[in-house]
Structure 1
């Protein structure tokens, strides 16, 4: 806040470097949990149920699509999730927030205290923040999570980042132990970190007064996997064949056919200039110098040319098809057919399908885009 005031006072309105608006970025999130009896021996749950983790729920969003907030009161949907692990209210809440959320993602639960789970999601310049929540099982209302972490820094998308996570108290239940009976907190308290000496109660399952801080219980790692660009065609890295598995265009896989065509034309022009220099203007003199050996070589070359495998020929492109999704991101496809191909070999056929990114202009009833939802 003070930095913003100083900026306004000295240089006027501050310009915040944002990531490019025409890029859609895919991230992979990997959650590693480290809740072991060795690290947390006190009251470590071994049965009914043993130490484990709930399903992971997250979203990419802007400032209006916040999932939960440290130091704030938990919503009814967050209360239900941290106490029971049920995500139905959170899902409905996300659907109601419309433009505040770009994608809502899920990852499978971890059935042991130590393990990992992962999923993928999308961000863009207007929805560059990521939030995540995962319940500690068993517990009164304890969880781990990520609170509105911005993956866009200084106008660039982060390649990779690791966030250390500690246990959090949802502020909706007053139990001190993993298996304590339900005891609602009225009124609700703020969401706060659980520390080695906070809450200050000897019965607390995370109460380790001899430690300055609790061992790390989990970490969330985010990896940028792909960047997709608007209105670009999709090609594989090694050829002009279309990558039909990917719904968008990646920066590393875009190859320009126009550049290849320019190179080919330049090569043909060079060959033509060389051939012109070798041609004699006097046709009669040229014919008189042709020997029988030369005629024989020319005839052999002509036969070889006629028998050479013909390259693959294809038809013209069809019209672009309709956008595959009537709400949110989708894909448009166009095709062409092989009209001739030599079975004796020859050059491989070019791409028979092209895809490009699209987004429907129709008004969506629910603009939250779900990706990689785990059932």
Structure 2
């Protein structure tokens, strides 16, 4: 029976976040690097913790997870000891900048990691970190939001047992008070503990104050509020150690001029490819684009009884061949009888009318009138086609991104914060109207008030 109680006590020490100072019989090999994934599951709901459950200002949530892998000389926090300035700032505000000062290898620290915050009471988040045989322990914590100085965490848990890395393990944790604030409720105002106390575990009966948000005297133990699960992901093993001295000239040397020539050759090849693509594109455009047909100019000649049309070539002839005799069978005549070539349309250019021929003049006037009448529908069509291209679709309203949130309107108590955005382009032609340009949310709490504020 005594052995069972001792085993339970050891397990509870891990669950409560107490120091795990056990020395394994055999440490893990120092030339192996192991990657672990830690998963935080939270169970803070109204059903399991109904007392003072925060719905707003802010609602029940969790800060980011801050952790480090280290050796046995490093301590992040420990029950029964005073919290450091970094732990105090993290437990009260969620800021980890004071704890991030130590770099890798400083004070026994091997790796530092963070997991994203959980914005609701029930959720999960995860992160990965490295350990090796000389730094096989892990410590981590996450602030309870809102709270005076409460958090959950694990202190110096050793992932190496008897020379082997744990494959997977899940640890239940309870709330911990950092011992830096006297508040009993989630939204208690800032009330520093002077002098600073020691970190301790919060239970259903301790602190024994009726106003305590975790005080449930009818329960033997608080329900699990969160668990940390550690899962081994990868193992790396040192395969070879290289011993190359500085003066060893057996390695390959690449001169800068050779590197420049290689880069220039690559650039030339790219330019040649681009030029070939451009030439092929232009050649395709030439084949696709229809060739313009030469337009023939016509002139009409009238006599008293006959009608003739003269076709003039689009390309002008040289002066030496511009005149031909109509009786020469081998010469080219530019006057053609209407019986040989049908007349398809009225003359484009004004007809040459013999002077003094009244019938020819009247006929020319009639042909000119009919030509203008036939061209009017084409002008209307072109006008309609031109106006149709002026149609513009509706334009929706465009706004900028939200600005940063303004400062809280009250430094003590509940106030408001605002953020704004501006209109870049207003809606046009029936487009979608602009959305809301101002957004407001609640901010502040009584925790930010000075002590004198409560002296009334």
- Residue by residue over 1:145-194, the C-alpha shift from the partner in whole angstroms, topping out at 9 and shown as x without a partner, is 01100000011100001000110001000000000000000111111110
Paired residue for 1:205, among 194, 199, 213? Answer: 213
Is 1:80 matched up with 2:89? yes
Given the superposition, is the C-alpha separation of residues 178 and 15 from structure 1 closer, same or farther in structure 2, using an over 3 Å criterion? closer
Is 1:170 matched up with 2:174? no
Paired residue for 1:128, among 102, 124, 136? Answer: 136
For the Cα contact (< 8 Å) 2:24–2:161, is it kept in 1? no
In the other structure, the counterpart of 1:60 is 69
* Cα distance in structure 2, aligned partners of 1:70 and 1:37: 28
Give the drift of 1:67: 1.0
Given the superposition, is the C-alpha separation of residues 41 and 91 from structure 1 closer, same or farther in structure 2, using an over 3 Å criterion? same
Paired residue for 1:179, among 168, 181, 187? Answer: 187
In the other structure, the counterpart of 1:306 is none
For the Cα contact (< 8 Å) 1:56–1:109, is it kept in 2? yes
In the other structure, the counterpart of 1:107 is 115
* Cα distance in structure 1, aligned partners of 2:188 and 2:71: 37
In the other structure, the counterpart of 1:37 is 46
* Cα distance in structure 2, aligned partners of 1:58 and 1:64: 15
List gaps (5 residues or longer) in structure 1.
1-13, 234-317, 322-375
Paired residue secondary structure (2:89): helix
Paired residue secondary structure (2:98): helix
* Cα distance in structure 2, aligned partners of 1:320 and 1:22: 30
Give the drift of 1:99: 4.8
In the other structure, the counterpart of 2:25 is 16
* Cα distance in structure 2, aligned partners of 1:15 and 1:320: 47
* Cα distance in structure 1, aligned partners of 2:118 and 2:168: 23
Paired residue secondary structure (1:60): strand
List gaps (5 residues or longer) in structure 2.
1-22, 242-249, 254-456
For the Cα contact (< 8 Å) 2:41–2:228, is it kept in 1? yes
Paired residue secondary structure (1:95): coil
Give the drift of 1:65: 2.0
Is 1:231 matched up with 2:236? no
In the other structure, the counterpart of 1:193 is 201
Is 1:137 matched up with 2:149? no
Larger radius of gyration: 2
* Cα distance in structure 2, aligned partners of 1:175 and 1:194: 13
* Cα distance in structure 2, aligned partners of 1:153 and 1:208: 37
For the Cα contact (< 8 Å) 1:82–1:135, is it kept in 2? yes
* Cα distance in structure 1, aligned partners of 2:57 and 2:25: 51
Moved over 6 A (4+): none
1:250-329 pair list within 5 angstroms = none
* Cα distance in structure 1, aligned partners of 2:92 and 2:24: 42
Given the superposition, is the C-alpha separation of residues 24 and 38 from structure 1 closer, same or farther in structure 2, using an over 3 Å criterion? same
In the other structure, the counterpart of 2:223 is 215
In the other structure, the counterpart of 2:361 is none
* Cα distance in structure 2, aligned partners of 1:197 and 1:70: 18
In the other structure, the counterpart of 2:100 is 91
Give the drift of 1:95: 2.7
TM-score by structure 1 length?
0.57
* Cα distance in structure 2, aligned partners of 1:15 and 1:226: 22
* Cα distance in structure 1, aligned partners of 2:43 and 2:115: 17
* Cα distance in structure 2, aligned partners of 1:101 and 1:210: 42
Q: What is the RMSD of the two structures over their aligned residues, measured on CA atoms?
A: 2.0
* Cα distance in structure 1, aligned partners of 2:208 and 2:251: 69
In the other structure, the counterpart of 2:439 is none
* Cα distance in structure 1, aligned partners of 2:251 and 2:106: 33
In the other structure, the counterpart of 2:80 is 71
Give the drift of 1:97: 6.7
- Residue by residue over 1:106-126, the C-alpha shift from the partner in whole angstroms, topping out at 9 and shown as x without a partner, is 000000000000000000111
